[in-house]
Amino acid sequence: MSDKATRVALVTGGTRGIGRAVVEALAADGYAVAFCYRSDDEAARELEKVLAERGHRTLSRRVDVSDTAAVRAFVAETDEQLGPISTAVTSAGITRDKALALMSDEQWREVIDVNLNGVFNVCRAVAFDMMKRRSGCIITMSSVAGVYGNPSQTNYSAAKAGIIGFSKALAKEVGRYNIRVNAVAPGYIETDMTADLAEKVKERARQAIALGRMGTAEDVAGVVSYLASDRASYVTGAVLHVDGGIAL
83 known ligand binder = no
136 known ligand binder = no
- To the query of whether residue 156 is one of the catalytic residues in this protein, the response is yes
Q: Residues 6 or more apart from 89 whose CB is under 8 A from it?
A: 9, 10, 11, 12, 19, 22, 26, 138, 139, 140, 141, 224, 228
13 known ligand binder = yes
Report helix angle 17-28 to 217-228, nearest 10: 50
157 known ligand binder = yes
Q: How far apart are CA 173 and CA 65, in angstroms?
A: 23
234 known ligand binder = no
DSSP 134: T
158 known ligand binder = yes
Contact between 91 and 19 under an 8 Å Cβ cutoff? The reply is yes
16 known ligand binder = yes
216 known ligand binder = no
For residue 208, the tally of other CB atoms under 10 A from its CB is: 16
* Active-site residue, selected from the candidate residues 31, 156, 177, 226: 156
Which residues contribute to the annotated binding site for NADP(+)? 13-16, 156-160, 189
Which residues contribute to the annotated binding site? 13-16, 156-160, 189
| Residues catalogued as catalytic | 156
